[in-house]
Amino acid sequence: MWIRKTDEELKIKPSKSSAVWLAEFLENPNFIVIFIFLLISLIIIYKFIGSGYKMHYLPPLSWKELLDYLPTIGFEAFAISLVIIVVSKIWTKKTKSYKNPVVCDSCNIIKEFDNVNQCLCGGKYISMDEMKWVDDDK
Binding site for Zn ion (CB under 5 A): 104, 106-107, 119, 121, 123
Nearer to Zn ion, 12 or 120 (CB): 120
CA-nearest of 116, 121, 122, 120 to 102 is 116
Burial 8-41 (b: 16+ CB within 10 A, else e): eeeeeeeeeeeeeeeeeeeeeeebeebbeebbee
Q: How far is the CB of 10 from Zn ion (least distance, A)?
A: 21
Nearer to Zn ion, 42 or 104 (CB): 104
Nearer to Zn ion, 90 or 121 (CB): 121
Dist CA 124 CA 105 (whole Å): 6
Would you say 13 and 116 are in contact if contact means Cβ atoms under 8 Å apart?
A: no
Q: How far is the CB of 108 from Zn ion (least distance, A)?
A: 7
SS3 category, 34? helix
Q: How far is the CB of 103 from Zn ion (least distance, A)?
A: 9
Q: How far is the CB of 84 from Zn ion (least distance, A)?
A: 42
- 44-48's contacts with Cβ under 8 Å and 24+ in sequence apart are 46/73
Nearer to Zn ion, 1 or 23 (CB): 1
